Amino acid sequence: MTETLPVERDLRRVIGDGDTQPDGEVDGLDDADLVELFRQLVLMRTYDERSLVYHRQGRIGTYAIFWNHEAMQVGVVCALEDDDWIFPSYRESAIGLLRGMPADTILSWWRGHPAGWWNPADYNVASICVPIGTHVPHAVGLAWGKKLRGEPTCAVAFFGDGATSEGSFHEGANFAGVMKAPVILFCNNNQWAISTPLEDQTAAETLADKAIGYGMPAVRLDGADVLAVYEATRDAVAQARAGDGPTFIEAVTYRAAPHATADDPRLYIDPDRVEEERQRECVGRFEGYLRRRELLDDDLAATIRDEAAQVMRDAIAKAEAEPDPDPELLFSAAFADPPRSFDHDLAELRRILAGE
Ligand SMILES: Cc1ncc(C[n+]2csc(CCOP(=O)(O)OP(=O)(O)O)c2C)c(N)n1
Ligand SMILES: [Mg+2]
């Protein structure tokens, strides 16, 4: 065991270790709900692992891996109602799966195909945000707007540890606190912003401490514990709906995969720490919990995994069957009054694509 870092101390947990640390329970989830959580975790894990393969095969573009982040995504969405809005970063690109979005839509997004452009209002899932932290004010604004209209809806913004150094995070957090917006600021603290470690990111003792400056409560929990994530989000949602404003959740894990398919973390990360995290990854931990409670056996686990694998086989086939998009789309949605040069540019693009 490497030494426990200060950032990993005093985290809320529900799932035990099957040994000295006992399992806890959470209110609000019956046995069927718990198995459904496992199904969702496996779907997300399968999406992620297959996407890495599809990238290596040249079938999708650069891909932001979310291996071991699944518990944060599944735990949060489980605590929301369908009317509540989700604002994902690239790390939560597939979170729409948990709202019934087809997997081929998300694969198309990573293929750079317009079939991946969903209407956010269809799923209450905003577009994937690649600029760091710029969606935090969007989530806060939507939540505040819903409150002004008297709707009971809340919003969740997902962002990383690095995002808490960005101006837009602070502007959004300040607004949320002042307006008592019904929003949850959910920080996936995987302790890395590409190759920048947490200790070079902030002088704050914990990221949750930043919430104090904005007058909102904060919770620190084990981000690989789906039940701890669910419980904290459920409480934050209740507070938001009661009119008591935002909550900051700091979910601590350790990034156990490269930042993205374009990254080689061997240049900067400690491989022993990564291996340790891979041993305590979130899907296996919840599987152990279900087995100890005799809610899951080998047959059911295999059926759930087979179903998820089939979802992905069907999805990549569908995404690849999409006809090439009209190149005019590159230009037509860019300006209300397109510059005249666009006609020439489009004609040239068509010539290049035709191989002339
Ligand atoms: C505004 C902005 N600056 C820089 C980048 C380049 N960039 C992409 S990912 C990343 C690291 C973000 O780290 P973190 O917020 O911890 O999220 P994680 O990737 O770990 O989930 C950076 C700096 C960007 N996408 N947007
Ligand atoms: Mg990070």
DSSP per-residue string spanning 28-70: T--HHHHHHHHHHHHHHHHHHHHHHHHHHTTSS-S----TT-H
Q: Is the distance from CB of 133 to CB of 90 less than 8 angstroms?
A: no
Least confident of 6-15, 50-59, 187-196: 6-15
Position 356 confidence tier, pLDDT thresholds 50, 70, 90? confident
Distance CA 192, CA 305 (A): 30
Centroid of ligand 1 to alpha carbon of 220 (angstroms): 21
Q: Is 225 in the pocket of ligand 1 (CB under 6 A)?
A: no
Least confident of 33-47, 258-272, 325-339: 325-339
Q: Is the distance from CB of 223 to CB of 72 less than 8 angstroms?
A: yes
- HSE, side-chain direction, 13 A CA sphere, residue 131: 9
Residue 334: the pLDDT is 82
pLDDT tens for residues 122-179?
A: 999 999 999 999 999 999 999 999 999 999 999 999 999 999 999 999 999 999 999 9
Degrees (nearest 5) of the Cα angle 122, 178, 173? 60
Query: What single DSSP character describes residue 112?
Result: T
Q: Is 163 in the pocket of ligand 1 (CB under 6 A)?
A: yes
Query: Phi and psi at residue 85, in whole multiples of 5°?
Result: -100, 145
Q: Is 161 in the pocket of ligand 1 (CB under 6 A)?
A: yes
Residue 2: the pLDDT is 53
Residue 25: the pLDDT is 93
Ligand (nearest to CA of 263): 1
Examine the pLDDT at 244 and tell me if it is beyond 90. yes
Examine the pLDDT at 1 and tell me if it is beyond 60. no
Segment 174-187 mean pLDDT: 98
Looking at per-residue pLDDT, the higher value among 230 and 7 belongs to: 230
Examine the pLDDT at 299 and tell me if it is beyond 80. yes
Q: What are the residue boundaries of the structural domains of the chain, listed by start?
A: 31-325, 327-356
In this structure, is the dihedral angle defined by the CA atoms of residues 253, 257, 263 and 269, taken in order, positive or negative? positive
Position 228 confidence tier, pLDDT thresholds 50, 70, 90? very high
pLDDT tens for residues 97-125?
A: 999 999 999 999 999 999 999 999 999 99
pLDDT tens for residues 54-90?
A: 999 999 999 999 999 999 999 999 999 999 999 999 9
Quote the percentage of the chain above a pLDDT of 70.
Answer: 99
Ligand 1: residue whose CA is nearest its atom 21: 160
Residue 255 annotated as catalytic: yes
Mean pLDDT of the chain: 96
Distance CA 212, CA 199 (A): 20
Residue 330: the pLDDT is 84
Centroid of ligand 1 to alpha carbon of 173 (angstroms): 18
Centroid of ligand 1 to alpha carbon of 355 (angstroms): 37
From 113, 138, 255, 285, the catalytic residue: 255
Alpha helices in the chain (DSSP H): 31-56, 70-78, 103-110, 120-123, 135-148, 167-179, 198-201, 226-241, 271-279, 282-292, 298-321, 329-332, 341-353
**Whether this model's pTM surpasses 0.85:** yes
- Which atom number of ligand 1 is nearest to the Cα of residue 64? 19
Q: What's the start-to-end Cα distance of the chain, in Å?
A: 61
Ligand (nearest to CA of 88): 1
Please choose, from the candidates 44, 288, 254, the residue with its C-alpha nearest in 3D space to the C-alpha of residue 160. Answer: 254
Centroid of chain to Cα 173: 19
Distance CA 168, CA 102 (A): 31
CATH class of 31-325: alpha beta
Residue 254 annotated as catalytic: no
Quote the percentage of the chain above a pLDDT of 90.
Answer: 94
